[in-house]
Structure 1
């Protein structure tokens, strides 16, 4: 079977590595008497990007990352600096000149070109006279939201697969470049060897399915909090249900807050992995902090209601009760909105965004319906009780300022009906 376009390993001035598990090939050529790096890389397009870098780890490394251009036919290559276990950041001080064969070829992305003056960078440099230059590669999440951009600084999701290898830069030094391509069936590594530092479960030093676990945990925890616990908490904190099940409401509120804390913690940790979020200035993050502190305040009000005076001395609802009840409902609405902002920030797929929107809307309407039913039931019971009193159920009836007479609750011994006393307006 003929494989897609790959590097023709015809010159000794090329070092390359082929990773069969990932159908990925990476190669470099180092022109003599130059600070340039000629490069070639290819990978299946179902990975959102393909990248390789110089260094043994993300910190103080230099990387070249290739992904489809906005037209879906050409390729964008972004030179970036690594600062640690976080998304590498684009550096405009480095210029990439692409060859004409850099394109989307069938189901493969092919990037070939020259990185000008790229052999040294802040915190590191390429050793062009060694047979064990530390290198690494990475592939973006498979079948993720489609990445197609001309922007070299576009936000990247965490890689799904990665590995390390050692490259012989002495062999890579010479004339010829990496522009000669051919269709070959057998591919071998020349001047490279994989470094297996990840244990027995990572053959040939390849780690696969290394997805963004923190971001996933952040989303799942908050989804459970906002779509399950919050509706239960709001319904249990309303009307007669609160009077009947105060302990259940308190436990549900506590679990709700604990889930918010867990979601905040995973969100903060995941934020450090991306350039766009590590400064905590996005709308999703700002609103997330606001809702978290609102939740703490409302929990404090709830505790005050439970251990203190929940009702005023006159039996009417106190202002603290009103603020707690309606503040909790408004908080829930804000968290629902913030969830949508989080999906947008994470470049979630359209299907996931639609699913969350539908589920959130349905849950919101269900809670509104439940609250309306509780309100109607409570109002009907109140009206039934008041009607029974008005019909002579034994309690005093006073026609207020609009009536002309009042019913005296006192009865004489032998009276079968209340005594009607004319109202004396002048007495007021």
Structure 2
């Protein structure tokens, strides 16, 4: 009987201990709304403290170049918390930013974000535990604590690590992005960092993960490289080895159109990034400098301008080389501005050296022998036969040769004296008139005569 009583007391003690432990755990657990993305094992949870304006944040995600979560319908006027690896790669940098449009968000020093213990990089995952003291209201936006469907957004940068201690470090365009909405009432309660979870709670709607495509930047790079590395060398060959200058002019116009399109796309892309919005980067400065020689190349060959001074046409070749050099430097600086990888930059450098050397060799050959158009113009000015009519001239030369051969065959029976008489110049005939002996030159029968022109009879 006593043994049974002891067993009952032990069971009751365990039940009471379990009850009090669960009660304490429930009291210590903060209210939170959680968004969980199974595809990337990304969790974003936050808690609204009911006794203050503080917002507690918990974020864990794979270590892409950067990961961002924001409050807002879209990027415009949205407050975003962006996380990326620090310079050493052993911790994270958390940067509160505000976006002014569909562009890179700008660091906001007015938003105070305190990093809490447990923040860092663990097993290739970013872990952020933070207290945001100014996250409920920001310029042109606020967090509605009574909303049951607060619009939210998130984005992932490319796989390349950023590694920076700067809160305003430049970001590459996001690789994927998505949206969802959360219940703010469910997230309101006792203040504290939410616990890790692999289940969504308080999420009322969610859009699928979208793959982003930066078509403008890609088209900007393709148009520029096409004009510099493909069309430009072809145009140099056309200018040096074709007599028809109109082909060179038409091809140059096409190159100019490609460059104008590349410039327009580059200007449209510049507004998407903080590092290029002010148009003060070396890439943009060199691009604007290249406009001057390009304009001179287009204007100076005009007849009215080229005829003003004799040295104006000679500026075309050096201006072409200067423009090409500036455009190649502009492209290389553009790769640096866009944070391109080292293999892409080295490939661009190798192609640039190859194309520049090829063009320099072609220009050297043309300079030594002269362009086909210049040689044709010189021949026309001197009245020489033009290469365009070379085939026709060769045809008439053959006809003339055939005619001379037929005449030689027809006159094969003419005597030697008659042939000499026929070939004698008219000037000699006029001089021989009035000379004694009838003006006849000594023939073969008078070779022994000491007085040429006097007939002698041999018996």
Q: Name the TM tier (shorter chain).
A: 0.7 to 0.9
Q: Which residue of 2 aligns with 1:205?
A: 208
How far residue 26 of structure 1 moved from its aligned partner, in angstroms, is: 1.2
How far residue 12 of structure 1 moved from its aligned partner, in angstroms, is: 6.1
Within a 5 Å distance, the mapping from 1:362-401 to structure 2 comes to 362-378=354-370
- TM-score, L = length of structure 2: 0.71
SS of equivalent residue, structure 2 residue 151? strand
Within a 5 Å distance, the mapping from 1:344-359 to structure 2 comes to 344-359=336-351
- 8 Å CA contact 1:42–1:50 kept in 2: the answer is no
Within a 5 Å distance, the mapping from 1:249-328 to structure 2 comes to 249-302=248-301, 304-305=302-303, 318-328=310-320
- 8 Å CA contact 1:41–1:50 kept in 2: the answer is no
Within a 5 Å distance, the mapping from 1:4-23 to structure 2 comes to 11=29, 13-23=31-41
Once residues 330 and 120 of structure 2 are traced to their aligned partners in structure 1, the CA distance between those partners, rounded to angstroms, is 38
1:178 lines up with 2:193 in the alignment:
yes
Q: Which residue of 1 aligns with 2:332?
A: 340
- 8 Å CA contact 1:260–1:292 kept in 2: the answer is no
How far residue 156 of structure 1 moved from its aligned partner, in angstroms, is: 0.7
Q: Which residue of 1 aligns with 2:245?
A: 246
- 8 Å CA contact 1:58–1:83 kept in 2: the answer is yes
1:330 lines up with 2:318 in the alignment:
no
Once residues 200 and 100 of structure 2 are traced to their aligned partners in structure 1, the CA distance between those partners, rounded to angstroms, is 29
SS of equivalent residue, structure 1 residue 348? coil
1:34 lines up with 2:52 in the alignment:
yes
Aligned to 2:115, which of 76, 95, 98?
98
- 8 Å CA contact 1:237–1:325 kept in 2: the answer is no
- TM-score, L = length of structure 1: 0.76
Once residues 121 and 340 of structure 2 are traced to their aligned partners in structure 1, the CA distance between those partners, rounded to angstroms, is 23
- 8 Å CA contact 1:32–1:174 kept in 2: the answer is yes
CA 309–288 in structure 1, closer or farther in 2 if over 3 Å, else same: closer
Once residues 16 and 38 of structure 1 are traced to their aligned partners in structure 2, the CA distance between those partners, rounded to angstroms, is 12
1:229 lines up with 2:231 in the alignment:
yes
Once residues 275 and 93 of structure 1 are traced to their aligned partners in structure 2, the CA distance between those partners, rounded to angstroms, is 18
- 8 Å CA contact 1:31–1:174 kept in 2: the answer is yes
* Structure 2 residues without counterparts, runs of 5 or longer: 1-24, 376-426, 429-459
How far residue 24 of structure 1 moved from its aligned partner, in angstroms, is: 1.8
Aligned to 1:188, which of 183, 196, 199?
199
Once residues 309 and 282 of structure 1 are traced to their aligned partners in structure 2, the CA distance between those partners, rounded to angstroms, is 35
Once residues 307 and 365 of structure 2 are traced to their aligned partners in structure 1, the CA distance between those partners, rounded to angstroms, is 23
How far residue 77 of structure 1 moved from its aligned partner, in angstroms, is: 0.5
Q: Which has the larger radius of gyration?
A: 2
Once residues 205 and 343 of structure 2 are traced to their aligned partners in structure 1, the CA distance between those partners, rounded to angstroms, is 38
SS of equivalent residue, structure 2 residue 39? helix
How far residue 232 of structure 1 moved from its aligned partner, in angstroms, is: 2.2
How far residue 112 of structure 1 moved from its aligned partner, in angstroms, is: 1.8
SS of equivalent residue, structure 2 residue 290? helix
Give the structure with the higher percent helix. Answer: 2
Q: Deviations over 1:140-181 (max 9, x none)?
A: 12x34x301010001111111111111111111122523644
Q: Deviations over 1:255-285 (max 9, x none)?
A: 1101111101110111111111111111211
* Structure 1 residues without counterparts, runs of 5 or longer: 1-7, 196-203, 383-412, 415-428
- 8 Å CA contact 1:81–1:89 kept in 2: the answer is yes
- 8 Å CA contact 1:69–1:75 kept in 2: the answer is yes
Q: Which residue of 2 aligns with 1:402?
A: none
SS of equivalent residue, structure 2 residue 93? strand
